[in-house]
Amino acid sequence: MADVYPNESTSNGTAAPGVTTGAIRGSHKVHHHTESGLRVPARRIELSNGEHLDVYDTSGPYTDENAEIDVHAGIPPLRRGWTDGREHRTQLEWARQGVITREMEYIATREDVSAEFVRSEVAAGRAVIPANRRHPETEPMIIGKNFLVKVNANIGNSAVTSSVEEEVEKMVWASRWGADTIMDLSTGSRIHETREAILRNSPVPIGTVPIYQAMEKVGDPAELTWETYRDTVIEQCEQGVDYMTVHAGVLLRYVPMTAQRVTGIVSRGGSIMAAWCLAHHRESFLYEHFSELCEILRSYDVTFSLGDGLRPGSIADANDRAQFAELETLGELTHIAREHGVQVMIEGPGHVPMHKIAENVRREEELCGEAPFYTLGPLATDIAPAYDHITSAIGAAEIGRAGTAMLCYVTPKEHLGLPNRDDVKAGVIAYKIAAHSADLAKGHPRAQERDDALSKARFEFRWNDQFNLSLDPDTARAYHDETLPAEPAKTAHFCSMCGPKFCSMKITQDVRDYANRHGLTSVEAIEAGMREKSEEFTSSGGRVYLPVAE
Amino acid sequence: MADVYPNESTSNGTAAPGVTTGAIRGSHKVHHHTESGLRVPARRIELSNGEHLDVYDTSGPYTDENAEIDVHAGIPPLRRGWTDGREHRTQLEWARQGVITREMEYIATREDVSAEFVRSEVAAGRAVIPANRRHPETEPMIIGKNFLVKVNANIGNSAVTSSVEEEVEKMVWASRWGADTIMDLSTGSRIHETREAILRNSPVPIGTVPIYQAMEKVGDPAELTWETYRDTVIEQCEQGVDYMTVHAGVLLRYVPMTAQRVTGIVSRGGSIMAAWCLAHHRESFLYEHFSELCEILRSYDVTFSLGDGLRPGSIADANDRAQFAELETLGELTHIAREHGVQVMIEGPGHVPMHKIAENVRREEELCGEAPFYTLGPLATDIAPAYDHITSAIGAAEIGRAGTAMLCYVTPKEHLGLPNRDDVKAGVIAYKIAAHSADLAKGHPRAQERDDALSKARFEFRWNDQFNLSLDPDTARAYHDETLPAEPAKTAHFCSMCGPKFCSMKITQDVRDYANRHGLTSVEAIEAGMREKSEEFTSSGGRVYLPVAE
């Protein structure tokens, strides 16, 4: 990926207040209004032909030229007061009662569907709205297979490296490029402080894996207790975490199933719970106290992300007995959570060869009552460390197409190191590509608009429009500059690949101009017309490789 | 992608003789011997546990420490004399006669299948061996859906930029990283000279699009004649080009079908032929003289790559009337070529959303008698210029899985500029990932060996083995160095993501060690054993996050 750094003149914005701000190149923030007047953000890309395209915007106030950003004060609490005077219920409970919440209304406008459709999908458990009532800063979004496929970006410091400011900037940076949710996977010191800073500044839902912090408190998995874990979950609910990964499906009897795997247990949370079960030879306290956990999450409307602690860590272990045994238990827990009125999504693998991907979605939907599936990749092969954003984008596009609702990104540093700023961007862009490819494959009614607008711009040699309509205008422009730096090249009627004489798009322009000149619309008419006027066309044959302008 | 430049200490080798030489890090060239004693190259990756893995090797003498490289003299003519005393026939004709050629024998060892199987696939037209008898430098390889999926890399200067030396180095560089064939798409000046230098130095088959050079000779498509084209084809056959893209399927009556497309005609060759047809209002001279063309290619055993001149250039145009009309004509031409004893493969798109990809393979196999399909990507979306190696790797993996035999790479510069050294590597690696993902999905008997070896190394914390088994050892190692530079980290029993206390792989190691200590093999035995010895395990619980070494 091209290295890009904060710079006023580009959509990488300015890093003045410690985080990246400023509009993405070629676009600016606009707001659409819902029936009751809620303001829903969108990113408007203005085109040189007077048209414009509004695209889904996850970047929050950071890309709003009119917003004042103060990382210490946090961003405005958009949802404060939305539930005033209302009894505390979860989005699932409201939906079941037939009530359309403001969050649903907001999401309907954001996804361009009816509010009633949003409500019905949430009521059915096919979609979740991760929105802890103590995280009013979040701009409501929905995760479900009948909506746009979403992308999650993981950030988080570790015992080995990184700082609070870095993590907040990673959150801002990841959502700038399109991350729909962020998971804070911090371990090591300052977990609470880091999470607080991220939550107060985050316009997207924040997910966590509470057991990491619980581990920090006790030091060894064998020392973990339900009480420590419970108190950690409450602490995080109070802070405003929107969804939590809980590895309650790792049962004692499943652990031996992993002993003969090529890569055993690769999930951190899964391995911690396995260690606890073995050390005490007792059933998982997460499984045994699951109903209590449901009551805690329900009171904040925190969404469960039931973790796949036994997910395969290699192609060899994909779709094995351990993985699917745990999935059955996740199905059982899904129904318990729903009885408690708690929203649920299910986490999935991991490392899976392409031909075994669809089965994961089929089983998950069957066992977990179509709860939104949220997968890590999967990587379609193990042989390309340093390129796992690509090995996994292949699997992610495939599993998204099969019905996965949210894709957890993988960066080029997966398996090797901690992602830096550029790795985070590379991972997010690769996953926006996978998610959009899946939206197209699923026939999402409006997904193709952006492809068509960009291809039309490309065909008409509107270079700047092509750059601005892309997922990364800066890098697209920078690559074009490498071969044809001059500004006139941005309006040239040929491109650097073939040069002026070989431009394949020109000839079509000419076929089309020819048809227009003679008012020919149907294919047949054009064909007939060309037959008559072939001499005339011959005489204009010399025009074939000259600029249209002439 | 990480920038990598020639450097003695890395697998980027030395650029001393003007091209990159030296073994790829962690591996060295070995030769396997066929029954009759032909020496077939492989790349041996030595592992720290005493094992090794031999992988398919496309890099030729450049990675052989014992080879002397002289770009001006060219590489040794491996196949010189292989057909001495034999009548001139094509591989297809020999195969039909039941004769196993040396090329087939060589390929059988290279692909680890029987020579008879190679012969039968070639005889059926399901596979081709692109090997012009005037290109003796080529190491025989096969393209067919029942063999490993292959990758082609396009290089070539253009009117706008680049030099002969650069193009030869791009060929060496691309095949170093795994390109199975190279297409020289040079336009502009010095086409003949550039191609000669590439052919004499290339261990992989070279493909071209003769109409580009024919265009250089006449300057305007309207001026093209069959005679000019024919003489250009003969000139290139004489030089040793192994396969040629011929856009003989672009018929006059198909051109109007493109007028209402979003991106019209995007193939250079296709647009040139369309321009010719319109200018003269006559049927394509390539179509009308196709039998003569077959006789020319037959006499050198040059393989046809029937070009898809009307391939879709955008998601909107995928699988449209123009595209499939041309494919029908390519099917007709395939059968004519086979009657002449000429080998044939078929070129495919382009830009296609995931759900429309499989249909392309199904129709191609049906219309073209299962002739090997050779596709450009396809890109699964149009919205990510600067990342089209990724948008297209997604489509390539999908179409490879569906039966495409060779994938033409796309670099990050697609649509924007000309690829440089790093772009070529990025494109090749992305496509090796797509091809290997397809091999796994197709259940290729030996494809998973490398995944398993790498995952086993990863699980056992054999970091250097993990790097060396990857597609790009330098970048994998460089990324690990960014977080944990010290050499001891390369043997550390944890990784930089979680740090020593959170290593998920350690716990499985412990489950496994525990099982071994007690001689427990079956899952049931392990489970039972753990029950008995749970106290003992508890006492050893403290070991959970300590290095195995201890």
Determine phi and psi for A373, rounding to 5 degrees.
-95, 140
* A326 vs A310: CA distance, rounded Å: 7
Contacts of B309 (CB under 8 A, 6+ apart): B247, B249, B250, B265, B267, B269, B270, B271, B273, B274, B326
What average pLDDT does range B208-224 have in this prediction?
93
Share of chain A above pLDDT 70, in %: 85
How much is the pLDDT for B3?
33
* Cβ contact A438–B469 (<8 Å): no
How much is the pLDDT for B404?
98
Q: Where in chain B is the domain with CATH 3.20.20.540?
A: 120-445
The total of other beta-carbon atoms located within 10 Å of residue A477's CB is 23
Binned at pLDDT 50, 70 and 90, residue A501 comes out as low
Are A379 and A340 contacting, i.e. CB atoms less than 8 angstroms apart?
no
- Biggest CA–CA distance in chain A, Å, is 90
How much is the pLDDT for B502?
58
| Overall pTM > 0.90 | yes
Are A458 and B264 contacting, i.e. CB atoms less than 8 angstroms apart?
no
How much is the pLDDT for A204?
98
How much is the pLDDT for B493?
60
The minimum CA-CA distance between B17 and chain A, rounded to whole Å, is: 27
Q: Is A538 on the interface with B (CB under 8 A)?
A: yes
* Structural tokens at position B538: 């508890």
* Surface of B (477-506) touching A: CB under 8 A: 478-480, 482-484, 495-506
* Cβ contact A187–B523 (<8 Å): no
Binned at pLDDT 50, 70 and 90, residue A42 comes out as very high
**Long-range contacts, stretch B118-126, CB < 8 angstroms, 24+ apart:** B118/B142, B119/B95, B120/B95, B121/B146, B121/B147, B122/B91, B122/B92, B122/B95, B122/B343, B123/B92, B123/B95, B123/B96, B124/B370, B125/B92, B125/B334, B125/B338, B125/B343, B125/B344, B125/B369, B125/B370, B125/B371, B126/B370, B126/B371, B126/B372
Binned at pLDDT 50, 70 and 90, residue B527 comes out as low
User: Mean pLDDT of all residues in chain A?
Assistant: 89
User: Mean pLDDT of all residues in chain B?
Assistant: 89
How much is the pLDDT for A53?
98
Map tokens 């419970």 to a residue: A230
* A456 vs A453: CA distance, rounded Å: 5
Q: Is A532 on the interface with B (CB under 8 A)?
A: no
The minimum CA-CA distance between B120 and chain A, rounded to whole Å, is: 27
How much is the pLDDT for A158?
59
* Cβ contact A499–B188 (<8 Å): yes
* Surface of B (23-52) touching A: CB under 8 A: none
Distances (CA, A) of B45 to A406, B38, B173, B176: 38, 22, 19, 15
Of A26-30, A253-257, A345-349, the one with minimum mean pLDDT is A253-257
| DSSP reduced 3-state for A296 | helix
Q: Which of A265, A386, A484 sits opposite B507 (nearest CB)?
A: A265
A85-118 pLDDT, tens per residue? 777 899 999 999 999 999 999 999 999 999 999 9
* B269 vs B286: CA distance, rounded Å: 11
Name the residue of chain A whose CA is nearest to B432's CA: A384
What average pLDDT does range B53-78 have in this prediction?
94
The architecture in CATH of the region A120-445 reads Alpha-Beta Barrel (3.20)
Beta-bridge partner residues of A245? A305
* B9 vs A479: CA distance, rounded Å: 29
* Cβ contact B429–A384 (<8 Å): yes
How much is the pLDDT for B4?
32
How much is the pLDDT for A523?
62
Binned at pLDDT 50, 70 and 90, residue A512 comes out as confident
Torsion sign across C-alpha atoms B84, B88, B91, B95: negative
Residue A547 clears pLDDT 70, i.e. is over it:
no
Q: Which of A268, A355, A497 sits opposite B498 (nearest CB)?
A: A268
Binned at pLDDT 50, 70 and 90, residue B162 comes out as low
How much is the pLDDT for B540?
46
Residue A537 clears pLDDT 50, i.e. is over it:
no
Binned at pLDDT 50, 70 and 90, residue A500 comes out as low
Q: Is B281 on the interface with A (CB under 8 A)?
A: yes
B165-181 pLDDT, tens per residue? 778 899 999 999 999 99
Q: Which of B261, B412, B503 sits opposite A479 (nearest CB)?
A: B412
Residue B531 clears pLDDT 60, i.e. is over it:
no
- As annotated, the binding site of A includes 154, 183, 212, 247, 267-269, 308-311, 347, 351, 374, 415, 495, 498, 503
Establish whether the linkage from the previous residue to B378 is cis, with ω within 30° of 0.
yes
Are B75 and B68 contacting, i.e. CB atoms less than 8 angstroms apart?
no
Residue A250 clears pLDDT 50, i.e. is over it:
yes
How many residues are listed for chain B in this entry?
550
What average pLDDT does range B92-106 have in this prediction?
97
B406-431 pLDDT, tens per residue? 999 999 999 998 888 899 999 999 99
Q: Which of A384, A440, A514 sits opposite B315 (nearest CB)?
A: A440
For chain B, how are helix, strand and coil distributed in percent, rounded to 5?
45, 10, 40
Binned at pLDDT 50, 70 and 90, residue B512 comes out as confident
How much is the pLDDT for A515?
63
A48-70 pLDDT, tens per residue? 999 999 999 999 999 999 999 98
Q: Is B311 on the interface with A (CB under 8 A)?
A: no
The minimum CA-CA distance between A347 and chain B, rounded to whole Å, is: 17
Q: Which residues of B touch A545 (CB under 8 A)?
A: 220
Residue A348 clears pLDDT 70, i.e. is over it:
yes
How much is the pLDDT for B503?
66
Map tokens 């099917």 to a residue: B331
Binned at pLDDT 50, 70 and 90, residue B366 comes out as very high
* B364 vs B402: CA distance, rounded Å: 11
What is the separation, in whole angstroms, between the first and last Cα of chain A? 38
Residue B148 clears pLDDT 90, i.e. is over it:
yes
Contacts of B88 (CB under 8 A, 6+ apart): B133, B299, B301
Instruction: Give ipTM to 2 decimals.
Output: 0.92
Are A530 and B282 contacting, i.e. CB atoms less than 8 angstroms apart?
no
Higher pLDDT, A348 or B524: A348
Mutation for testing the B interface, residue in A504, A510, A521, A546 having most B CBs under 10 Å: A504
Q: Which residues of B touch A407 (CB under 8 A)?
A: none
| DSSP summary character for residue B261 | S
Establish whether the linkage from the previous residue to B350 is cis, with ω within 30° of 0.
yes
Higher pLDDT, B11 or A331: A331
A412-461 pLDDT, tens per residue? 999 998 888 899 999 999 999 999 999 999 999 899 999 999 999 999 88
Of A227-241, A505-519, B84-98, the one with minimum mean pLDDT is A505-519
| DSSP summary character for residue B220 | S
Q: Which of B412, B507, B526 sits opposite A275 (nearest CB)?
A: B507
Higher pLDDT, A56 or A256: A56
- B269 annotated ligand binder: yes
